[in-house]
Structure 1
């Protein structure tokens, strides 16, 4: 995250915020109260919507145009959580807050992509070496691991369904993994029984 964050107060005029976005080459900024608690976010899109909306002499402020409630991540949240929130919300920037919801930084889509920008081969090697061999104590040929654009596909047959669940969960935690396709089966699956 970036800890040098440009923020606005509720009373900050829209004209000032528009100038800051251009000056600092950013596309949004958080709106905070006097104690730095995040109240909302103003994006470049929010500012464009306000053009021509105010009557002559009116001064639009951050409080009037901000999106609320603010979607934030905690400083101790995982990068994966931030990436998922950005993906589902369509946001390019997320305020990072402490346990009291005070602004401590900003994480951008670019920040997140740098973490996930690992070569597929490196991700595949880590999954095979650290999970299949070291964690599950299997031979590297026991699970076929293929990676395309950060999406890991696991194929093969493990001894138990618990081992399958562990393999999938651990793979999801690997830096650079954006998704897991589970094609693993288990030797000792409970047989399917129709409900009576």
Structure 2
């Protein structure tokens, strides 16, 4: 029931070929109002990402597209300052997207859980991830905003997902007998199930749904089939 990147990604991706000129990349970032785009080889493989921070290594970026009052985002200023020695001086000489980009882009795949993508963004401090297929070719892009939508699901949608996740198989004596309430993402499970293990499974299933903030377990059961394993100690 976990949402995957394929469920939320954008397939209409703004990207550039590695041979694209500095001016082409700069025009694209400004016209599309984005802070970075994937850089592709001639076969659509992702080589890296070129960002506003990368272009700041060239002073003409500021001169061409911003006035003297322009202050780039803090993250861009930090990256520019950290790259002012070594790679920064190299990028100042770069003329194409391939020369200006940050290589080894962090990417994700369509079948990756959105939680994993969110952790990857947080770990590397990026706002978006190119999505690639098994051959490394670009198939989409996923942003922080895309991921946030999953965790801001409406209560009724969450309730429907919880209800749909309850099997009508023998595991449940009477699924319709469960009372499911959702308030601000907090799920409360009420009702009587046949076995204690069924109650545990219901809680775990609800907790696995993206967008659920917490689960309040108020279930009761007719038979306690949870086996207590004795703890043995000795001197």
Partner of residue 73, structure 1: 108
For the Cα contact (< 8 Å) 1:13–1:59, is it kept in 2? no
How far is 1:15 from its partner?
A: 4.8
Listed as ranges, the gaps of 5+ residues in structure 2 are 1-8, 56-75
Aligned mate of 2:146, from 111, 120, 135 = 111
Listed as ranges, the gaps of 5+ residues in structure 1 are none
Compute the RMSD of aligned alpha carbons.
3.9
- Name which structure has the greater RCO, CA cutoff 8 Å, separation 6+: 2
Give me the whole-angstrom Cα distance separating, in 2, the residues matched to 1:96 and 1:50: 26
Give me the whole-angstrom Cα distance separating, in 1, the residues matched to 2:156 and 2:92: 60
Alpha-carbon displacement from aligned partner over 1:42-72 (angstroms, at most 9, x marks no partner): 3334444448744898226544554453222
| TM-score in terms of structure 2 length | 0.59
How far is 1:30 from its partner?
A: 1.0
Alpha-carbon displacement from aligned partner over 1:128-175 (angstroms, at most 9, x marks no partner): x32458463435564654442x454657786243652365236524xx
For the Cα contact (< 8 Å) 2:39–2:48, is it kept in 1? yes
- Bigger Rg over Cα: 2
Q: Describe the shift of the 1:84–1:120 C-alpha distance in structure 2 as closer, same or farther (beyond 3 A).
A: farther
More displaced, 97-106 or 79-88?
79-88
Aligned length: 192
Partner of residue 37, structure 1: 45
Aligned mate of 2:164, from 130, 152, 159 = 130
Give me the whole-angstrom Cα distance separating, in 1, the residues matched to 2:115 and 2:136: 20
| TM-score in terms of structure 1 length | 0.68
